[in-house]
């Protein structure tokens, strides 16, 4: 061992102890006759002291030549510091160095290894191993490890068995694009990397495993939006002989356990909301309920006057922005510009200032009198001093636009507190969603999700309104988990494939093994998967998953540190019976 103690552990009680420490030079101060060095490792920082009187001259000189990020080993005595530092755990002591051994030199790092660094995103990614030396990045990774342990301990305590499912599986065109892996031993054939272990966990239920979980890497070859990664981690779970209620209860308990264990936050019973309610109240199936600003549907009143834009709109809907009644004309114009940006796409915005004296001033005073506006205020819950923002148009689009505005304003008004946790179950998702591109219905979750039994009849008559036994767990406006009760009856599964536009042959080719399995006694089962990267980020009070991944890829799916992907040589291609066509 190169050390007797780590750099975070020495205290006043260790004074006079002979110690050996090793670590990185965080910084040094050289007064000529005296040199101080901050020595850093994962556990903390300890101050080293070299001086003319007590230190061998050669060693003092050596100390004067240490650069940042050199790796050194020192032997010395723990002594009391003259000027103590209460901000450091080791601030009462320092090490009077007798021996100094440079283990590795370092070039000047391309950015500062400090809590706040001067390095930009790309540079930090290229030198990720240096970025990881910074406290915030390292703490995030340690935090992630801790959350994973708590998840495992909780689930193991509930009799869940962690089962590893295969990574080299079979390509299925349903869902997102698969990454594929050419097989050398089976020429011209490919494995696929799993988008989730969905079918395997269902097979484990058919196999009687009863309660399964796995913290597992999954893969999706998508055009990457900001903060999406081609490989991501899921907490994947499945249970047999359960109903939706049982799944919600156990994972609510798990989430509460995590909040308590890693954040010391106690949360009461999670509220539940149907998908339809979430869309009406928040225009969003993953609403952030840490703050209000619920939608008020103004259609009925707003359409009763001569304002053509509202009268021609499918819906008119508004939110009350607390305290924004005092916004200047300029500020309000900026808001209007914001909703008109192509990313949001509204055509305009109507506003109402709720004056402190109870009167209203709106951008549509020509059409609506004070009584009309009072109704708007009542419906949106606006108080004197608030600003009502109103959008109109087609229902779905308008709600999405108002939701974007609501989130933006909450951000600006600092209503999204990182240390506040507001979980929410959203239930009764639609089973199917219409896909414009392929001109047919797709499964909103996946083809194995069970419709609500009372809605099965609507599959042929009104497919868009069939509800599923599907649910999402939302935390602070982010979907952190989602799942469903599964179909376990082969006839219902066949019916689903039919409604999703699979021919019998296609269904057979892709999911034959699952349909076969249903022939041999499938138990009722249901499950859920958490997006682990996001869960950890949100528990950590942040929303950028990249900060919680040791070696993330950039938006082009590249690892800029190792420079992957890259070309492979012709021998390799030939062995795989492949030719590159670019």
Considering only 79, 163, 415, 444, the residue that binds its own copies (CB under 8 A) is: 163
Considering only 185, 436, 461, 491, the residue that binds its own copies (CB under 8 A) is: 185
| Nearest distance, CB of residue 517 and its own copies, angstroms | 5
Task: For the sheet with 211-219, list strands across it.
Answer: 161-162, 211-219, 231-240, 525-531, 478-485, 470-475, 423-427, 272-274
461-490 residues in contact with its own copies (CB under 8 A) are 488-489
Between helices 504-517 and 490-499, what is the axis angle to 10°? 150
Nearer to its own copies, 373 or 427 (CB): 427
Q: What is the DSSP letter of 214?
A: E
Q: Is 170 in the site for its own copies (CB under 8 A)?
A: yes
225-244 residues in contact with its own copies (CB under 8 A) are 230-231, 233, 241-243
Considering only 200, 307, 441, 448, the residue that binds its own copies (CB under 8 A) is: 200
Residues 403 and 20: their CA atoms lie apart, in Å, by 58
User: What's the token pair of residue 167?
Assistant: 């990574």
Q: Is 164 in the site for its own copies (CB under 8 A)?
A: yes
Nearer to its own copies, 185 or 268 (CB): 185
Nearer to its own copies, 32 or 208 (CB): 208
Residues 100 and 59: their CA atoms lie apart, in Å, by 7
Q: Is 69 in the site for its own copies (CB under 8 A)?
A: yes
490-519 residues in contact with its own copies (CB under 8 A) are 512-513, 517-519
Angle at 206 between CA 202 and CA 209, to 5 degrees: 90
Nearer to its own copies, 434 or 513 (CB): 513
Nearer to its own copies, 541 or 565 (CB): 565
Q: Which residues contact 351 (CB under 8 A, 6 or more apart)?
A: 332, 335, 336, 362, 363, 387, 388, 389, 390
Nearer to its own copies, 438 or 461 (CB): 438
Asked if 535 and 235 count as a contact pair (C-beta separation under 8 A), the reply is yes
Question: What x-and-dash track marks residues 111-150 binding its own copies by CB under 8 A?
Answer: ----------------xxxxxxx----x--xx-xx--xx-
| Nearest distance, CB of residue 571 and its own copies, angstroms | 9
517-556 residues in contact with its own copies (CB under 8 A) are 517-524, 549-551, 553, 556
How many other CB atoms are there within 10 angstroms of residue 542's CB atom?
Answer: 15
349-368 residues in contact with its own copies (CB under 8 A) are none
Q: What is the DSSP letter of 545?
A: G
Between helices 244-263 and 135-157, what is the axis angle to 10°? 140
| Nearest distance, CB of residue 9 and its own copies, angstroms | 11
Q: Is 86 in the site for its own copies (CB under 8 A)?
A: no
Q: Is 188 in the site for its own copies (CB under 8 A)?
A: yes
Phi, psi of 119 (to 5 degrees): -85, 135
Residues 445 and 440: their CA atoms lie apart, in Å, by 15
Nearer to its own copies, 97 or 390 (CB): 97
Nearer to its own copies, 2 or 434 (CB): 2
Q: Is 309 in the site for its own copies (CB under 8 A)?
A: no
Considering only 95, 125, 203, 470, the residue that binds its own copies (CB under 8 A) is: 203
Burial of 77 from C-beta contacts in 10 A (0-12 / 13-18 / 19+): middle
Considering only 77, 85, 112, 171, the residue that binds its own copies (CB under 8 A) is: 171
Considering only 45, 63, 100, 193, the residue that binds its own copies (CB under 8 A) is: 193
Q: What is the 3-state secondary structure (H, E, C) of 137-185?
A: HHHHHHHHHHHHHHHHHHHHHCCCEECCCCCCECCCCCCCCCCEEECCC
Q: Is 437 in the site for its own copies (CB under 8 A)?
A: no
| Nearest distance, CB of residue 28 and its own copies, angstroms | 14
Nearer to its own copies, 286 or 553 (CB): 553
For its own copies (CB under 8 A), the number of binding residues is: 126
Q: What is the DSSP letter of 535?
A: H
Asked if 92 and 79 count as a contact pair (C-beta separation under 8 A), the reply is no
Q: Is 578 in the site for its own copies (CB under 8 A)?
A: yes
Angle at 299 between CA 298 and CA 303, to 5 degrees: 115
Q: Is 268 in the site for its own copies (CB under 8 A)?
A: no
Q: Is 580 in the site for its own copies (CB under 8 A)?
A: yes
Q: Is 565 in the site for its own copies (CB under 8 A)?
A: yes
Long-range contacts of 162-167 (CB under 8 A, 24+ apart): 162/212, 162/213, 162/214, 162/215, 163/204, 163/209, 163/212, 163/214, 164/214, 164/216, 165/194, 165/197, 165/200, 165/201, 165/204, 165/214, 165/216, 166/194, 166/200, 167/193, 167/194, 167/217
Q: Is 162 in the site for its own copies (CB under 8 A)?
A: yes
Burial of 225 from C-beta contacts in 10 A (0-12 / 13-18 / 19+): exposed
Q: Is 257 in the site for its own copies (CB under 8 A)?
A: no
Residues 222 and 515: their CA atoms lie apart, in Å, by 28
| Nearest distance, CB of residue 205 and its own copies, angstroms | 9
Nearer to its own copies, 239 or 424 (CB): 239
Q: Is 24 in the site for its own copies (CB under 8 A)?
A: yes
Q: Is 176 in the site for its own copies (CB under 8 A)?
A: no
User: How many Å is the Cα radius of gyration of the chain?
Assistant: 30
Alpha helices (H) in 33-94, listed in sequence order: 57-64
Which region, judged by CB under 8 A, interacts with its own copies, from 220-228, 274-282, 359-367, 430-438?
A: 220-228
Considering only 369, 420, 460, 572, the residue that binds its own copies (CB under 8 A) is: 572
Peptide bond into 565 cis (omega under 30): yes
Q: Is 62 in the site for its own copies (CB under 8 A)?
A: no
Nearer to its own copies, 474 or 535 (CB): 535
How many other CB atoms are there within 10 angstroms of residue 98's CB atom?
Answer: 15
């Amino acid at each position: 061992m190169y050390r007797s103690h780590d750099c975070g552990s020495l205290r006043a009680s260790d004074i006079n102890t002979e110690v050996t420490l090793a670590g990185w030079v965080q910084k040094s101060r050289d007064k000529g006759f005296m040199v101080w060095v901050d020595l850093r490792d994962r556990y903390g920082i300890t101050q080293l002291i070299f001086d003319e009187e007590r230190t061998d001259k050669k060693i003092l000189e050596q100390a004067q030549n240490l650069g940042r990020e050199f790796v050194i080993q020192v032997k010395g005595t723990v002594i009391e510091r003259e000027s103590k530092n209460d901000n450091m755990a080791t601030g009462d002591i320092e090490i009077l160095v007798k021996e100094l051994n440079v283990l590795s030199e370092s070039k000047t790092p391309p950015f500062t290894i400090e809590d706040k660094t001067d390095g930009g995103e790309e540079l930090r990614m290229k030198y990720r191993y240096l970025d990881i030396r910074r406290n915030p990045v390292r703490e995030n990774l340690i935090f992630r490890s801790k959350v994973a342990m708590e998840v495992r301990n909780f689930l193991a305590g509930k009799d869940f068995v962690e089962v590893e499912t295969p990574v080299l599986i079979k390509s299925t065109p349903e869902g997102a694009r698969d990454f594929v892996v050419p097989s050398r031993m089976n020429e011209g054939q490919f494995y696929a990397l799993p988008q989730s272990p969905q079918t395997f966990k269902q097979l484990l239920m058919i196999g009687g495993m009863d309660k399964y979980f796995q913290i597992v890497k999954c893969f999706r070859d998508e055009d990457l939006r900001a903060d999406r990664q081609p490989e991501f981690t899921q907490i994947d779970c499945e249970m047999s002989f359960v109903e939706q209620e049982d799944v919600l209860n156990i994972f609510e308990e798990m989430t509460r356990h995590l909040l308590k264990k890693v954040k010391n936050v106690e949360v009461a019973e999670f509220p539940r909301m149907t998908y339809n309610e979430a869309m009406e109240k928040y225009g969003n199936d993953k609403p952030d309920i840490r703050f209000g600003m619920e939608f008020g549907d103004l259609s009925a009143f707003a359409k009763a006057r001569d304002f053509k834009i509202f009268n021609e709109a499918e819906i008119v809907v508004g939110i009350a922005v607390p305290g924004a009644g005092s916004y200047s004309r300029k500020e309000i114009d900026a808001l209007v510009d914001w909703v008109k940006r192509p990313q949001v796409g509204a055509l305009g915005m109507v506003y109402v200032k709720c004056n402190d004296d109870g009167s209203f001033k709106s951008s549509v005073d020509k059409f609506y009198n004070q009584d009309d506006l009072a109704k708007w205020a009542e419906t949106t819950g606006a108080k004197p001093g608030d600003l009502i923002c109103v959008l109109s148009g087609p229902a779905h689009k308008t709600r999405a636009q108002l939701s974007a505005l609501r989130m933006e304003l909450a951000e600006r008004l600092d209503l999204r507190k990182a240390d506040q946790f507001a979980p929410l179950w959203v239930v009764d998702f639609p089973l199917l969603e219409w896909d414009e591109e392929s001109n047919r219905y797709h499964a909103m979750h996946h083809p194995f999700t069970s419709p609500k039994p009372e809605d099965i009849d609507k599959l042929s008559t009104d497919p868009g309104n069939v509800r599923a036994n599907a649910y999402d767990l939302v935390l602070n406006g982010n979907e952190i988990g989602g799942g469903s009760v599964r179909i376990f009856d082969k006839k219902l599964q066949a019916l689903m494939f039919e409604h999703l536009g699979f021919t019998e042959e296609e269904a057979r080719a892709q999911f034959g093994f699952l349909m076969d399995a249903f022939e041999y006694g499938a138990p009722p089962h249901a499950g859920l998967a958490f997006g682990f990267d996001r869960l950890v980020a949100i528990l950590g009070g942040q929303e950028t998953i990249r900060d919680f991944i040791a070696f993330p890829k950039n938006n082009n799916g590249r690892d800029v540190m190792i420079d992957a992907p890259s070309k492979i040589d012709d021998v390799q291609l030939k062995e795989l019976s492949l030719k590159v066509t670019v």
